[in-house]
Chains A and B, each alone.
Chain A
């Protein structure tokens, strides 16, 4: 049981490494400033909907903080706050027993837009960003949403099976 619990954290860490060290090599140079995938965040959204939003909140805060510390340019906190808060809210809104695929994909789109908007808002608040929201929307938020959508489609089946197995096994253990 203990092994399975750490598997998720290990998977997220692996994705975090891939996000920074592998993925930039596969994005064409022209798109590198416009496509900033948050793969870890997408998996956390899956956890929020198919497992437990409190766990997702914790994971979001943790991996957001990791992102903030490792790529510490201006300040610590935007990713941690954005990822934790968005994951919790998405878990709250989109959890109806067994969420179907289209609704999950809609949740991914909403969550992706929300995270990017929160980040934009925070940088705007501290006067580190001087663009209009509409510019940011067209520049990276919409491309990000499309990329996240495709990624979510690709990992949907294995990830949902894995997460629901975890929760069902746990509830069985609680019953026993």
Chain B
């Protein structure tokens, strides 16, 4: 340590300490929740984002082309499965329509308020193109090509075709940063736990997706009541309780369930539905605005 001081010299050491203090101040300032980005940040993000957008798309096409060749054989099987899924879909669609109409009639009969009606509305999905990826283990994030000009706001959920991916963490005019669910952390002031439930058992099951275990590559779901019917293989979806977060976004499948650390509630490990790699198109879920 002494040799390090000698090497650095008095003036250098002074500058180093000043720099350290400055940087810790900047980090502390930018760590907490912020109202929005300042214009220099927005400007840099949008300029860099534009260049990244130009680069990312052709590269994804080229690598995607080679991947497609490799996947050619499994294509036929996938096609068959999709046909079966489509048949199921057309059958369910008729059922869905009648239930939907019943639902509307009942909500009119019961005189739902506008707010209650808005809560039952479908969400709007906006297609976003990923333009760059940072795999920093403590701060995994993506940049997408939609910004505040497209109506994106902080905290909106982002999904892929398979399941929930993350939430929008910072928005500039034409791009925004998506914080992946792998950074979920109960100690982080910016990360909120997601209220979750089981598909097909929405009224009986409840738990909170609180953190991501990067050793296992799974989410940890906590606060599950001991008489909860949740079991292995169940599909976990977001419940939308609490209002802000959209309902019924697929999160993953239950792998195991065990007693929690205090024994009062259970915890479960959830395998994510998305793979968190090779990003292409994502969907930003826009929740309908509730008229005040």
- Residue pair A77, B23 in contact (C-beta under 8 Å): yes
User: 1/0 contact trace for B174-196 toward A, CB 8 Å?
Assistant: 00010100110101101000000
Residues in B whose Cβ lies below 8 Å from that of A135: 215
Residues in B whose Cβ lies below 8 Å from that of A26: 63
CA distance A128 to B164 in the complex (A): 22
B90 at the interface (CB under 8 A from A): no
- Residue pair B137, A81 in contact (C-beta under 8 Å): no
Taking A70-B143, A130-B185 as known contacts, 18 extra A-B pairs with beta carbons closer than 8 A to each other, sorted by chain A number, are: A17-B51, A18-B55, A20-B134, A21-B59, A25-B60, A70-B44, A70-B45, A70-B48, A70-B132, A71-B143, A72-B41, A73-B141, A80-B23, A81-B19, A126-B27, A127-B188, A128-B139, A140-B137
Give the bracket for the number of chain A residues in contact with chain B. Answer: 35 or more
**Can you list 10 A-B pairs with a CB-CB distance of less than 8 A?**
A21-B132, A36-B136, A71-B139, A74-B138, A74-B188, A74-B190, A77-B27, A123-B138, A128-B183, A128-B185
CA distance A33 to B138 in the complex (A): 10
B277 at the interface (CB under 8 A from A): yes
Give the bracket for the number of chain B residues in contact with chain A. Answer: 35 or more
- Residue pair A75, B143 in contact (C-beta under 8 Å): no
User: 1/0 contact trace for B106-141 toward A, CB 8 Å?
Assistant: 000000000000000000000000011111111111
6 closest cross-chain pairs (CB), A and B: A20-B132, A71-B134, A29-B277, A21-B56, A77-B27, A123-B138
B49 at the interface (CB under 8 A from A): yes
CA distance A93 to B8 in the complex (A): 10
B72 at the interface (CB under 8 A from A): no
- A33-B214 contact given A73-B179, A75-B30, CB 8 Å threshold: yes
